Amino acid sequence: MTERIVLAYSGGLDTSVAIGWIGEATGAEVIAVAVDVGQGGESLETIRQRALGCGAVEAYVADASDEFANEYCVPTLKANALYQGHYPLVSAISRPVIVKHLVKAAREFGATTVAHGCTGKGNDQVRFEVGIQTLGPDLKCIAPVRDLALTRDKAIAFAEEKGLPIETTKKNPYSIDQNVWGRAVETGYLEDIWNAPTKDIYDYTATPEFPPAPDEVTISFQAGVPVAIDGVKVTPLQAIKELNRRAGAQGVGRIDVVEDRLVGIKSREIYEAPGAMALITAHKHLEDITVEREQARFKATVGQRWAELVYDGQWFSPLKRSLDAFIEDTQKYVSGDIRMVLHGGQAIVNGRRSETSLYDFDLATYDTGDTFDQSQAKGFIELWGMSAKVASGRDIRVAGK
């Protein structure tokens, strides 16, 4: 039986050419796998037909938009995950769901190898291959661009020679990856980190310099999951899409950052994540009134480590699974409403309410009705500072000898 290779297929030039390129280099049959994670653009059927037209013996296509929102975006939201405090893991969280379908297709079609279109310089090669090794330890991995010397020039020449049904003459200077959680742009003139982004880079967000009238929105959560917007029930996917539209119209969620890649280099990235950033902002403010202080402090540390693990391709790791359990436990009481104003590139919270809130008006108020016993503060301070006071006395005593 002829060997079969499953290829992560986007429908673009590189992966379309990779179908025939892999076939010629290895003698294997190629099964193209396209996964919709809300990236928009062409239909799955159009992509499927293109894959077959480029020489794939089979084309596996999956609409994973709801799956991606429910099982990947929601955990990211619950963790308030921002890699290095900025990046909402747009690409990083899409790779595990694609890996899941790649391994599923490999089992279904009897493939022994999985291929992806990553270079040897980026993070995604790690995310794909570590995920594949974890879910399908018997499967081999190859990367045509990295392992078979498939450059863009060679891809264009190959496509023209074979008459492949794909546009080969237009060359976008940027590398773009997008899904419903956000959009990532890199390379081209952005590699000079002094250059400011130009307007043509953006697609999910309008310019914040000349915004429309302020847009006030109320987001309702149940156990950390967005369940309604302005009182209208929504699924997580619908919530992300609606806030992509409304926050995007106000220029919310533009991120320009130099981040530390897993392979050891720094890389300049432009992100657009209007829905993700609005939701994370709202969720964090709701946690501020529903999560106990020490739990919240530790959760911030857990969320940072969670983001690092996911960025580094460890979605399926034991530590990630353990951190998931902690984060999920913290979400028990994260239910209620957050009101925020979207305007001029900002999402500003101006109202909070929850039946499980830890905010006690009678304890917090300075007016009549205050139930806080201020007489207890003096003794509390004495005990709280006792350790430092004793240590300071020791330091003075020793220094005087």
Catalogue the active-site residues. 14, 95, 124, 175
Tell me the sheet residues that pair with 393: none
Distance CA 9, CA 32 (A): 5
123 assigned to a ligand binding site: yes
85 assigned to a ligand binding site: no
Q: Is 62 left (phi over 0), alpha (psi -120 to 50) or beta?
A: beta
SS3 labels along 158-181:
HHHHHCCCCCCCCCCCCEEEEECC
342 assigned to a ligand binding site: no
Distance CA 32, CA 57 (A): 8
18 assigned to a ligand binding site: no
Q: If 0-12 CB within 10 Å is exposed, 13-18 middle and 19+ buried, where does residue 285 land? A: buried
User: How do strand 113-115 and strand 215-222 relate by DSSP bridges?
Assistant: unpaired
Task: Please name which of 249, 217, 251, 248 lies closest in space to residue 234, comparing C-alpha atoms.
Answer: 217
46 assigned to a ligand binding site: no
Q: What Rg, from alpha-carbon coordinates, does the chain have? A: 25
* One-letter identity of residue 211: P
119 assigned to a ligand binding site: yes
15 assigned to a ligand binding site: yes
357 assigned to a ligand binding site: no
392 assigned to a ligand binding site: no
Distance CA 378, CA 36 (A): 60
Distance CA 125, CA 172 (A): 22
365 assigned to a ligand binding site: no
112 assigned to a ligand binding site: no
50 assigned to a ligand binding site: no
271 assigned to a ligand binding site: yes
Number of H helices, E strands in the chain: 15, 14
127 assigned to a ligand binding site: yes
Full DSSP string of 20-61: HHHHHHH--EEEEEEEESS--SS-HHHHHHHHHHTT-SEEEE
User: How do strand 4-8 and strand 336-343 relate by DSSP bridges?
Assistant: unpaired
12 assigned to a ligand binding site: yes
8 assigned to a ligand binding site: yes
Locate all alpha helices (DSSP H) within 84-151, ordered by sequence: 94-109, 124-135, 144-147
Instruction: Summarize the annotated binding site as residue ranges.
Output: 8-16, 87, 117, 119, 123-124, 127, 175, 259, 271
Instruction: Summarize the annotated binding site for L-aspartate as residue ranges.
Output: 119, 123-124
Instruction: Summarize the annotated binding site for ATP as residue ranges.
Output: 8-16, 117
Instruction: Summarize the annotated binding site for L-citrulline as residue ranges.
Output: 87, 123, 127, 175, 259, 271
